[in-house]
Structure 1
Amino acid sequence: MTAAGPVGLLIGGDRVTATSENLHEHIYPATGAPNATVALAGGDEIDQAVDAARQAQRAWMALTVDRRRDALIDLADVVHEHLDELAALNVQDYAVPISYAGTARMLEWFLRHFAGYVDKPHGFSSPVNGSFDLNLIEREPYGVVGVIAPWNGSLAVAASCVAPALAAGNAVVFKPSELAPLAALRFGELCLTAGLPPGLVNIVPAGPVGGAALVRHPGIGKIHFTGGGVTARKVLRAAAENLIPVVTELGGKSANIIFADADLDQAATLSAHQGPLMQSGQSCACASRILVQDAIYDEFVERFLAIVSTARVGDPTDPSVRLGPVISSASLERILTIVDRAVDEGGDLLTGGHRIAEGPLAEGFYVAPTVLGNVDNQSALAQDETFGPVVSLMRFTDVDEAVRIANDTQYGLNAFVHTRDLTRAHTVSRRLEAGSVWVNQFSQVSPQGPYGGFKQSGFGRTGGLEGFQEFTRVKNIRIGIS
């Protein structure tokens, strides 16, 4: 796919291709070749998007709750009709294999779920000591919400943030990464197709200049940022200039604990697909540290390596492919440098650790799925995000050691436990310092459950009642009764 002209912003219902910022050449990671030119938002375009959003938000809140609820259901129906198209654009964005491009369906699920919040009670009344006053505690929208998505999750963030933000009565200025803007822009067009007010959802691909303008804008009521910790700190500092509240979902270095009584075939399969094969390891949700009990270490490693080393690598549009490229040549070089350092520090390279550069994959940014054994949990490989198809294997003897190693990291997004012992599953899950714990399964983010991190993995939640309330603010109204 090669776009004929610049891919424009979507502001107030119009495509904008002439902007105050430079154009960005979008590179398709599977081939290393350009496939689109992307117009980037600067300060002027952010101003326009916020103005359009403020006008649309007033029109949105002027609708009755049943009309807003039905509008979101209509949008979910339109998304459903375009699932294949959105999934294909997700592949074009960053070459994630189509076998992992299920976030379009996630978008539909979140829209349907949060449509149900629109016409439900958002507040309550409370008695006041010494008075018969009517004391109302209500939740209302912030107005305009800025949502910043990473290149590896534009549709997932649209699902988890745009859906509840709209349900709560807000308008949205959505900034996808310039590295992956295509699916998000199409979603913005589908919002118009579904009949949402123009400007209710604005899509503004941008780099650092546009991003800084968004988080500093006085017309923004709240920011939701998904990305890395270094950028998150810049966002927090910039938003503080206008006291704009921020929610963050950041990185992870998730522990995946395999106990001796686990179903080893299931554990090996889930560990492979939640680890190096999941978006080529380019997800904060990846289980990148695998902790295996001593008694089954060798047996588990044999089964795990058999799955990882035989996973099909290739064209991301092929449904049978399980591993695609990493996002860029710079990322490829960084990942291989990390692996070399881990080997120098004593890690056992069990498979991978090199670029795949033969045949049709030669020009793409492909890293072989890489597994290192007997990794020290204090090493850089175990402590820092690699963001590539690389996992560490570590041994443990008992529950206490497993929990200690799992929690010994700055991050706290996910954790995984494999065991047939229900008591152990409960007790270990409660001891793990992670926002979500998954027992004998993949991480399956759902609209019904709150998702977010502890420690350096961020604060705030998406999904569930907690995720809906993130996009509302509380107001107290007290009416004197004589």
Structure 2
Amino acid sequence: MTSAEQQVTTELFINGEARPAENGRTYAIHNPARPEECVGHAARGSVADVDAAVRSAHAAFPAWAGRSYEERAALLRQIAEVLVADEDDVAFRSSLFCREHGKILKETRLEMTRLGDRFLLSASYADRLQAHETLSGPPFDTIITRQPRGVAALIVPWNWPLSILGAKLPQALIAGNTVVVKPSQNSALAPTLTLHKMARLLPPGVLNVVTGSSGEIGDALVGHELVRRVNFTGSIEVGKHVMRTAAERLTPVTLELGGNDAGIVLPDATLDAGAFMRMYFGAFMSTGQICMALKRLYVHRSRYDEVVDGLSAACARQVVGDGMLPDTTMGPLNNRKQLGIVQGMIAEARGAGAEVKEFGAVPDAELYASGYFQKPALVFRPEPGLSVVRDEQFGPVLPIIPFDDEAEAVRLANDSDFGLCSSVWTEDREKALAIARQLEAGYTYINGHGPTAQDSRGPFGGFKQSGIGRNLGYEGVLEFQGYHSISAPAGWLNGA
């Protein structure tokens, strides 16, 4: 797997063609399971490359915006078809994604093959989008409609880059915007190749791709004079910086900044094998590197031991190793920095006296020691001030905390700077809805949590420091448009 023939080099995509970065610069991407293995090289775009991409999108905007919703929808449906038409290509991009990211091959293939579903969903909104509201006078006849904003800058993180891309790119396109996408520098190869396939199906300039260092080109993109919308997914600190930069030109932003999702297990919850696996995947899918992952689990004291035993058994069945290997169920974290954050939280919890248990089989101890691996860990009854409770772990560690009554559970769940997702586990429908409505979160799951429980038709986003605005759903399309009201004297527009 380390031969030069198996390395990939990706280019930028600007104005309808793939091209190298200015001066031919590239940077290396390594396999987090085998850090000595170079998977490939991505183009290291410059400020000049960003400017060329934005100006290309700006030039393409009038013609793209002038197409009907159905014309744009037809191209989105074509993209969805082409993304999965070549099985060999899907397999290649899935394997490449696994090697550069670290998540298991099954998950990379899932993300790769389901991306088109979000294009189809956005295309399905065409009829609804073309409708407008008419208000009859007196005093005026008024048409309330919407129009695209212009060039949209879409900034995608490394953890689920294709799924997150599917939550903003087709929405921007069906809304009538042209786009510049910046994938994460930590996971750029397979996403860039996938974006190239899409871009080749669209008119030149409609979809442009620039890879490289966020520190070098991020501000140039967010602060560009021709960018009319910024959609960013990432950390709180970077999100704040994006907002400050965009504010210089009053560019509107959508920010999805992660979460510290709380789950509440009530006394009447069904706790069978299926429920424990849903909890496990909610917390540990993709090595826990998911913004909507279950990150704090509050359990009624009467069911606490049962949940501990059930989740411990689920964690113990996992096999930790290289995601390319068929028996592996949990791969490494994506990068050394994130591994350090997670291991620091575990060490702090242990140092404070909390019980911490790590689970799972490690078939290759030498690989485990050299890669960015962490076995799934559970932290029992941690103090509320510990970072594993207060902060977003973004890794395979879950605190389990007992509570005595529903009011306490809601208070503990809401005692967070975050407000992205939450879950309620109960067989009482009325109680589930009553508690869900008290939770300060943009999305609440019932008897499930995370990607396996997500309905892409619903808007997704958070409150508090989890962000601003929404992706996905019909509402996610509206984020890329502005309202436009047209008024005339009463009886004039309706022909009376």
Paired with 2:29 and 2:165, the residues of 1 have a C-alpha distance of 21
User: In structure 1, what residue type is equivalent to 2:333?
Assistant: V
Q: Which residue among 21, 34, 41 is the counterpart of 1:37?
A: 41
Q: Is residue 2:87 matched to residue 1:78?
A: no
What stretches of structure 1 of length at least 5 have no aligned partner?
none
Q: In the aligned structure 2, how far is the partner of 1:160 from the partner of 1:68?
A: 17
SS in 2 for 1:442: coil
**1:381 to partner: Cα distance:** 1.3
The alpha-carbon deviation at position 319 of structure 1 amounts to: 4.8
Judged with a 3 Å threshold, the aligned counterparts in structure 2 of structure 1 residues 269 and 66 are, in CA distance, closer, same or farther, namely: closer
Rounded Cα–Cα distance in structure 2 between residues aligned with 1:85 and 1:60: 32
| Secondary structure at 2:254 match in 1 | strand
Q: Which amino acid is 2:313 matched to?
A: A
Question: How many angstroms apart in 1 are the aligned matches of 2:14 and 2:248?
Answer: 25
Instruction: Report the equivalent of 2:411.
Output: 404
Aligned to 1:366: 373
Instruction: Please tell me the residue identity of whatever aligns with 2:149.
Output: Y
Matched residue, 1:48: 52
Secondary structure class of the residue paired with 2:298: strand
Matched, 1:15 2:18: yes
Point out where structure 2 has 5 or more consecutive residues left out of the alignment.
none
Correspondence 1:66-465 to 2 at 5 A = 66-82=70-86, 83-101=90-108, 102-120=110-128, 121-131=130-140, 134-193=141-200, 195-207=201-213, 208-265=215-272, 266-275=274-283, 277-352=284-359, 358-443=365-450, 444-465=453-474
Q: Deviations over 1:336-368 (max 9, x none)?
A: 122111111221112259999714444321111
State which drifts further: 2-11 or 435-444: 2-11
For residues 122 and 47 of structure 1, what CA distance do their matches in structure 2 show? 35
| Matched positions, count | 478
Counterpart residue type for residue 433 of structure 1: E
Q: Is the 8 A contact 1:355 1:367 kept in 2?
A: no
TM-score w.r.t. structure 1 length?
0.94
Deviation of residue 215 (structure 1)? 0.4
Classify 1:125/1:331 alpha carbon distance in 2 versus 1 (closer, same or farther; 3 Å). same
Question: What TM-score results when the alignment is normalised by the length of structure 2?
Answer: 0.91
Contact 1:252–1:284 (Cα < 8 Å) also in 2 = yes
Is the Cα–Cα contact under 8 Å of residues 436 and 453 in structure 1 kept in the other structure?
yes
Distance 2:149 2:41 in 1: 34
Distance in 1 separating the partners of 2:211 and 2:137: 49
CA distance in 1, matches of 2:190, 2:60: 22
Moved more, 408-417 or 198-207: 198-207
Q: Give the 3 Å change call, closer, same or farther, for CA 65–303 of structure 1 in structure 2.
A: closer
Q: Check conservation: 1:155, 1:183, Cα contact below 8 A.
A: no
Residues 165 and 172 in structure 1, CA contact (< 8 A), matched pair in contact too: yes
State the distance in 2 between where 1:468 and 1:317 align.
36
How far does the alpha carbon of each residue in 1:51-84 deviate from its partner, in whole angstroms, 9 at most, with x for none? 1112222232343443222111111111232554
**Deviates most, 329-338 or 296-305:** 329-338
How has the CA–CA distance of structure 1 residues 320 and 429 changed in structure 2, closer, same or farther, with 3 Å as cutoff? farther
Between stretches 110-119 and 85-94, larger displacement belongs to 85-94
Q: Supply the AA of the counterpart residue of 1:458.
A: G
Q: Is the 8 A contact 1:6 1:39 kept in 2?
A: yes
1:188-231 superposed Cα distances (whole Å, 9 cap, x missing partner): 222244x3112211111122221111000011110001001000
The alpha carbon displacement at 1:86 in A equals 4.2
In structure 2, how many angstroms separate the alpha carbons of the residues matched to 1:438 and 1:130?
Answer: 46
Distance 2:221 2:176 in 1: 20
Which letter does structure 1 place at the counterpart of 2:164? V
What is aligned with 1:477? 486
Matched position secondary structure for 1:135? strand
- Going from structure 1 to structure 2, the CA distance change for 1:5 and 1:30 (only over 3 Å counts) comes to closer
Q: Is the 8 A contact 1:20 1:42 kept in 2?
A: no
Deviates more, 1:53-62 or 1:40-49: 53-62
Aligned-residue sequence identity (percent) comes to 31
Q: Displacement of 1:47 after TM fit? A: 0.6
8 A Cα contact 1:31 1:361, kept in partner: no
- Superposed displacement of residue 395, structure 1: 0.4
Aligned-partner residue type, residue 282 of structure 2: Q
Alignment CA distance shift 1:401-1:4 (3 Å): closer
Structure 2: distance between partners of 1:241 and 1:107: 34
Corresponding position of 1:25: 28
Residue 11 of structure 1 contacts residue 49 of structure 1 at CA under 8 Å; is this kept in 2?
yes
- Pair 341,115 (structure 1): closer, same or farther in 2 beyond 3 Å: same
Residue 107 of structure 1: CA displacement? Answer: 1.8
Q: 2:317·2:361 contact (CA, 8 Å) conserved in 1?
A: no
